[in-house]
Amino acid sequence: MKRFKQIAISLLFMGAGLSVWGQTDIRLSVHADPQISWFSSDEADVDPDGSRFHLQTGLTMDFFFAENYAFSAGFGLNNLGGSLAYADTTLFVSREDSIDIMPGQVVRHKLQYLDFPVGLTLKTEELGYATFFLRLGFNPMININAKGVSEDGTLDDENISETTRLFNLGYHAGLGVEYRLGGNTALIGGLRWTAGLTDVTDNDKANITTRSVSLHLGILF
């Protein structure tokens, strides 16, 4: 993990430096991505038990420091979550209330984040009207909404922000294609994989991280 952090920090600083000193072009894109997300856990007390389908929306700016290489930065709303089956009694804090979920219950978590993706974009030369790209980077996220629904109705779309960590960090990797319509305008399509690196809950019994696969759909200007 220590080596991973060093590589991550080096990558981000390198991209930022290159974009400042050698920038030749800036491209802006907006996107609305259908997304399936779920949880991963390495603890026996909590088992992932379902996924969530929602949208991820936002904008991305590519700062080109060479003809086919760019430092990318963005902003958006990322809807993540999934269902978890709890083997033991688990405490949830909803506003000022403390709610115990009994063993064996499945709780659906609906999490919404402000997403600030950063990374590198690598593009091919244009082939006909198409340009293919690879995008790699990290997703620092801040939780702005968290709700829970349990099978027995103990949690009924309750606010569970008190037991959801404010900060979440993940990484992403995506492949896609841009189809030029005319001038600098292009349609974007692709697939993206995102995985969390940090625990999203305050549950001391489990280390729970997010996973998601999204269909990347957007317009490049």
For the stretch 3-16, pLDDT in tens is 444 444 444 544 45
Residue-by-residue DSSP string for the chain? -HHHHHHHHHHHHHHHHHHHHH--EEEEEEEEEEEEEEEEE--TTEEE---EEEEEEEEEEEEEEETTEEEEEEEEEEEEEEEEEESS-EEEEETTEEEEEPTT-EEEEEEEEEE--EEEEEEPPPBTTEEEEEEEEEEEEEEEEEEEEETTSSSEEEE-GGGB-SEEEEEEEEEEEEEEEETTEEEEEEEEEEEE-S--B--TT--EEEEEEEEEEEEE-
Kindly state the tokens that stand for 9: 């920090």
Q: How much is the pLDDT for 88?
A: 85
Domain extent at residue 45? 2-220
Predicted pLDDT at 42: 79
- Domain of 193: which CATH number? 2.40.160.20
For the segment 23-43, the average pLDDT, to the nearest whole number, is 90
Q: What is the mean pLDDT of residues 172-184?
A: 95
- Given this model, what pLDDT does residue 134 score? 98
Nearest to 149 by CA among 202, 95, 92, 98: 92
Confidence of residue 216 (pLDDT cuts 50, 70, 90): very high
The count of structural domains within the chain is: 1
Instruction: Give the model confidence (pLDDT) of 48-82 as tens digits.
Output: 999 999 999 999 999 999 999 999 999 999 999 99
Kindly provide the b/e burial profile for residues 136-155, where b requires at least 16 CB atoms within 10 angstroms of the residue's own CB.
Answer: ebbbebebeebbbbbbeebb
Single pTM value for the model? 0.85
